[in-house]
């Protein structure tokens, strides 16, 4: 379990918790990637291979190992917008789980969860991620191809191309204001078939 809460409630570098973000979109040099941490308006830009060390050192993002993990997002009652994030390392790559609470329509907060590969879109196509909520004899799964961090997480969320929960659904799966999200990452079938040839 990875207990993580947002710094809107409490700032703790130990937990990898950061304040809500203000987003920026422009990338001047196509070789440079803006900071992919959605919790900060961070001016940093760098090459893809140093994104992970930037997130770990500057933003103190926790990293979990293994093909299957459980991410525990606490303080789900915090007002929108709020983000929870964790890095997930498996299959030789690093992924970023972003869980965001935001109002798409005024007075109606929703939860959006997506996985971003810290890599290129071509690399992202080689993987499938599964997010699973399981509580009170109910199970909800979302399975998709991760997006690359070279794409903007804001557009993934605004397009709704992710796991979307309204407040009442999130409450069905939460336990004392915490939401446990099972995460599994596998290589896609196309990638497996190529590897066997």
Residue 24 counted as domain residue = no
Q: How far apart are CA 178 and CA 158, in angstroms?
A: 24
Structural domain range at position 172: 63-187
Q: Is the peptide bond before 81 cis (omega within 30 degrees of 0)?
A: yes
Residue 15 counted as domain residue = no
Q: Could you tell me the CATH number of the domain that includes residue 170?
A: 2.60.210.10
Per-residue pLDDT of the chain (197 residues; tens, 9 = 90+): 333 333 332 223 333 333 334 333 444 455 677 777 766 678 888 888 888 888 777 778 888 898 899 999 999 999 998 889 899 999 999 999 999 999 988 889 999 999 999 999 999 999 999 999 999 899 999 999 999 988 888 888 888 899 999 999 999 999 999 999 999 999 986 544 444 44
Q: How far apart are CA 110 and CA 174, in angstroms?
A: 14
As beta bridge partners, residue 187 has 127
Which pLDDT value is given to residue 72? 93
Residue 13 counted as domain residue = no
Which pLDDT value is given to residue 39? 61
Residue 196 counted as domain residue = no
Which pLDDT value is given to residue 76? 93
Residue 31 counted as domain residue = no
- Tally Cβ neighbours within 10 Å of residue 139: 11
**Among residues 62, 186, 65, 191, which one has the least CA distance to residue 130?**
186
Residue 68 counted as domain residue = yes
């Amino acid at each position: 379990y990875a207990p993580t809460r947002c710094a809107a409630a409490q700032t703790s570098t130990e937990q990898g918790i950061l304040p809500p973000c203000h987003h920026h979109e422009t990338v001047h040099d196509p070789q440079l990637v803006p900071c992919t941490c959605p919790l900060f308006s961070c001016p940093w830009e760098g090459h893809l291979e140093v994104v992970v060390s930037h997130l770990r050192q500057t933003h103190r993002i926790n990293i979990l190992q293994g093909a299957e993990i459980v991410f525990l997002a606490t303080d789900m009652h915090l007002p929108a917008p709020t983000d929870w994030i964790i890095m997930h390392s498996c299959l030789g790559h690093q992924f970023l789980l972003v869980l965001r609470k935001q109002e798409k329509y005024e007075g109606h907060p929703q939860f959006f969860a997506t996985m971003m590969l810290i890599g290129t879109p071509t690399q992202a196509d080689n993987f499938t991620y599964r997010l699973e909520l399981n509580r009170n004899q109910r199970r909800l799964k979302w399975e998709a191809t991760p997006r690359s961090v070279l794409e903007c997480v804001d557009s993934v969320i605004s397009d709704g191309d992710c796991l979307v929960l309204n407040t009442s659904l999130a409450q069905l799966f939460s336990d004392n204001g915490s939401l446990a999200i099972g995460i599994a990452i596998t290589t896609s079938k196309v990638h497996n078939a190529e590897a066997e040839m």
